[in-house]
Structure 1
Amino acid sequence: MPTVTVRYFAGARAAAGRAEETTSAGRSLNELLADLAERHGGRLVPVLAVSSFLVDGVTCHDRHKPLPAGATIDVLPPFAGG
């Protein structure tokens, strides 16, 4: 089965309880985020709501487009600092 890799950074890593995971490909980013929210529960939901997402290093502007097999999705919460 084709997969994508989800990598969590900073607060997203803490909320998900892991640095990365793999999941099935062929879904849209919105569908993937709904699955991740259900899978990881309450701590991750607010982080996902304010995060930015990269698909293979490029900002994702179309959250309805199917994610390609083998893609890497980075979950980037807002970062503090100067």
Structure 2
Amino acid sequence: MRYFAGARAAAGVPEETAPSGLSLEDLAAHLTAAHGDRLGTVLKAASYLVDGVACHDRQQALPGGVTIDVLPPFAGG
């Protein structure tokens, strides 16, 4: 897992290894339990890339060995 911007601040780490075989929904619950509700709030609004490809199905189990990027909503122009 790699965290960017507000997700990095909420997690308190730039990256970490997460359990394999979970869906994004289950992974978000696991990470919220590990890091707290602040990260949980960010994860609910975040977009996810799995090996560089946008993942919109938060129920599908993720294969092991993939890189997951957590991208919180960005503002600016």
Q: Same fold (TM over 0.5)?
A: yes
The ranges of structure 1 where at least 4 consecutive aligned residues each deviate by more than 2 angstroms after the TM superposition are none
- Number of aligned residue pairs: give it: 77
**TM-score, structure 1 as length reference:** 0.88
Query: Which has the larger share of strand?
Result: 1
**Which residues of structure 1 form unaligned runs of 5+?**
1-5
| 2:11 corresponds to 1:16 | yes
**TM-score, structure 2 as length reference:** 0.93
**Which residues of structure 2 form unaligned runs of 5+?**
none
Q: State the percentage of identical aligned residues.
A: 65
Aligned-pair RMSD on alpha carbons?
0.9
The 2-side partners of 1:7 and 1:44 are apart by 13
Query: Which has the larger share of helix?
Result: 2
